[in-house]
Amino acid sequence: MKANPKIKRVRLKINPENGFVFFGIVSPEPDYKLSLALNRKLKINLRNVTPVIIGQKEGEEISFSRFSDASASPHLTYELISNRSGKDYLIKKLINIDFIFRIFNGENEADINLINTLVKEIECITAVFNLDPATIKDRNLDYITY
């Protein structure tokens, strides 16, 4: 009888978000101060861009500030999006998160673990969480995963 060959399993690292990485940031600082701190620590160039605007009932619109940097590389984009606007939240499931830091890493040019460590070292940041958009069920998630 022939012995069965040993099966070797190989796990492939596939990112279903097409290179998007999300961090939840807790910080008491306003968005512009946090963007400056991220710019200094990560040596990037976050700038205030068009805010994320969502429509609510009765024709009311709510805007959430957004800072973006795409200058480093065409395949590497950083975005800092506010999760709060007054008493409203962009992602209601994440009410304890103040900001969402999104990194589009299309060509895997950045070391995400290094970025996470550097962000945690910033004094004005209380906490940093890795977010998995696949586990978050919120209709407004489409505004930041475009």
Whether 6 maps to a domain, the answer reads no
pLDDT at 13 over 50: no
Query: Region 13-40: what's the mean pLDDT?
Result: 81
In terms of pLDDT, which residue wins out, 144 or 47? 47
**Mean confidence (pLDDT) of the chain:** 80
Contact residues for 23 (Cβ-Cβ < 8 A; gap 6+): 100, 101, 102, 103, 116, 119, 128, 129, 130, 131
Residue 56 lies in a domain: yes
Asked if the structure places residue 137 within a domain, the reply is yes
With respect to residue 113, please indicate whether it lies within any of the assigned structural domains. Answer: yes
In a domain, 128, yes or no: yes
Q: How far apart are CA 75 and CA 52, in angstroms?
A: 22
The answer, yes or no, to whether residue 49 has pLDDT greater than 50, is: yes
To the question of pTM greater than 0.85 for the whole model, the response is: no
> What phi and psi, each to the nearest 5 degrees, are found at residue 134?
-70, -25
**In contact, 64 and 98? CB cutoff 8 Å:** no
Q: Domain range spanning residue 118?
A: 20-143
Q: Is 130 helix (H, G, I), strand (E, B) or coil?
A: strand
Flag whether 1 is in a domain.
no
**Domain membership flag for residue 14:** no
**Which CATH number does the domain housing residue 63 bear?**
3.30.310
End-to-end CA distance of the chain: 56
How many domains, the chain? 1
- Would 15 be classed as within a structural domain? no
pLDDT of residue 16: 43
Statement: residue 3 has pLDDT above 90: no
Tens digit of each residue's pLDDT (9 = 90 or more) over 91-128: 888 889 999 998 887 556 567 788 888 999 999 999 99
